[in-house]
Amino acid sequence: MQTPGEFVREQVTTVRSTVDRVAGSVAESVAGSVGEKPSVAAVSSQVGDFIREQRSAARVSLRELARAAGVSNPYLSQVERGLRKPSAEILASIARGLKISAETLYEQAGILDRRSGNPDTVAAIRSDEGLSERHKAVLLELYETYVREHRSATETSARAAAAARPAAASQPAVQPRNSKESA
Amino acid sequence: MQTPGEFVREQVTTVRSTVDRVAGSVAESVAGSVGEKPSVAAVSSQVGDFIREQRSAARVSLRELARAAGVSNPYLSQVERGLRKPSAEILASIARGLKISAETLYEQAGILDRRSGNPDTVAAIRSDEGLSERHKAVLLELYETYVREHRSATETSARAAAAARPAAASQPAVQPRNSKESA
DNA sequence: CAGCAGCGCTTGCAACTGCTAGCACCCCCG
DNA sequence: CGGGGGTGCTAGCAGTTGCAAGCGCTGCTG
């Protein structure tokens, strides 16, 4: 029987080989939704629709929002109708005008991927100076993977305890073994 | 002892960096008189410097990164030198090529606010309720491994820097090792 | 009725982004 | 020496972004 330390070490080794594969898709998980030209048009329309929704909800005219945001109203109109694809700076300005977070619009625009997990943990890893940027990216990706697993495992076990184990085997090399060890 | 070629190369490098510094301050003082521009120029230079650093750390040529990122190498060169301000999409592509998260580059570019995290990554992971205990252990082990690697790379770089000081090779030779180990 | 204020949108343009073609330089080989 | 491979950068250009000037429409007022 393995000691806990050995078990962890083995996991780390397994994780290492997985991490190399995962690392290649790290920024892709963020950029993937921005990569393909076809979806760009849809995304422009999405953020435009979203802006219009928020503006309507706030009962603000296009000109009022444009003024508040510091952008031209014709341009804002074009953005809302998906005719133009605004830069991040413009999105941030519009967010300010709408009194919502810029990240919200970035996500709608497909610029920023929604992060799972605890923002504090994410921020801790991101700001840790003892890590290289690449290692940060790898840890964050793994962290998110685990959080998603934990979440789905929690939901699955809430539904049917018997089905919980097979469902946990949906993730790559790491989780299956983990699952086996606990069984 | 330096060869004549090395000496000339060193001189050219020195001249280059001087010119860049002077050019940078010129652009800054010009932009400063326009009001908003200064911070934009500074930010463009910041993300460009950061990209160059990460690229050097990864021991990747400009062309290789450009290829990996799917952007043109002249454009990447201009971005690194702060001559152009890339869109979020381009930043995400570059991040993918560098195998780091896009958010990192967004932060450097001033598009995304940096969230100050818990200074203690270990504590953050430990107290994260979105993780199972096993996953916490795995993440922490990996984290420690990475920190150790980073630390030894830093120490190696400190030694290498001392040895390399006469050659004045402020360029990478140091961190590539880190990159190799993680790759 | 005309005039005014508001609404959102059209049009043309300057500035910018990201690219291609090519340059200058370096190193190595036959 | 010339040729090949690599490096990073220059210059010109097409397409895009964000703007200003202006349009057409609606409702209200004297």
Q: With respect to CATH, is domain A36-109 assigned 1.10.260.40?
A: yes
Domain boundaries, chain A: 4-31+115-182, 36-109
Tens-place pLDDT, residues B104-151: 999 999 999 877 766 788 888 888 888 888 888 999 999 999 888 888
Residue with tokens 């002077």: B22
* B39 chain-A contacts, CB cut-off 8 A: none
- Radius of gyration of chain A, Cα coordinates, nearest whole angstrom: 21
Name the residue facing A135 among B98, B124, B182 (closest C-beta): B182
Q: Is the distance between the Cβ of A90 and the closest atom of strand D smaller than 7 Å? A: yes
Average pLDDT over residues B158-167: 43
**For strand D, which nucleotides have at least one atom less than 7 Å from a protein CB?**
6-11, 16-22
CA torsion, ordered B81, B84, B87, B88, to nearest 10 deg: 20
Cα dihedral B53, B35, B29, B20, rounded to 10, equals 20
Distance CA A116, CA A145 (A): 9
Confidence of residue A29 (pLDDT cuts 50, 70, 90): very low
CB B161 within 8 Å of CB B174: yes
Question: Residue A72: which residues within 8 A CB-CB, separation 6 or more?
Answer: A66
Radius of gyration of chain B (CA): 19
Best mutation target among A25, A40, A126 (most B Cβ atoms within 10 Å) is A126
User: ipTM value of the model?
Assistant: 0.74
Is the pLDDT confidence value at A28 over 70? no
- Residue A126 tokens, joined: 């991101």
**Buried/exposed B77-93: b ≥16 CB within 10 Å, e otherwise:** bbbbbbebbbbbbbbbb
Residue A2 pLDDT > 50:
no
Element (H, E) at A21: helix A4-23
Q: How far apart are CA B116 and CA B112, in angstroms?
A: 12
Out of A56-60, B59-63, B124-128, which region has the weakest mean confidence (pLDDT)?
A: B124-128
Contacts of A86 (CB under 8 A, 6+ apart): A47, A75, A79, A94, A109
pLDDT in tens, A139-164: 988 898 888 888 877 776 555 444 44
Give the lowest-confidence range in A80-89, B118-127, B172-181: B172-181
Chain B residues 111-170 within an 8 A CB cutoff of chain A: 111-121, 123-125, 128-132, 134-135, 137-139, 141-143, 145-147, 149-151, 153
Instruction: Give Cβ neighbours of residue A51 (< 8 Å, ≥ 6 apart).
Output: A76, A79, A80, A94, A98, A105, A108
Structure tokens belonging to residue B67: 């290829």
What is the C-alpha to C-alpha distance for residues A137 and B125, in angstroms, rounded to an integer? 15
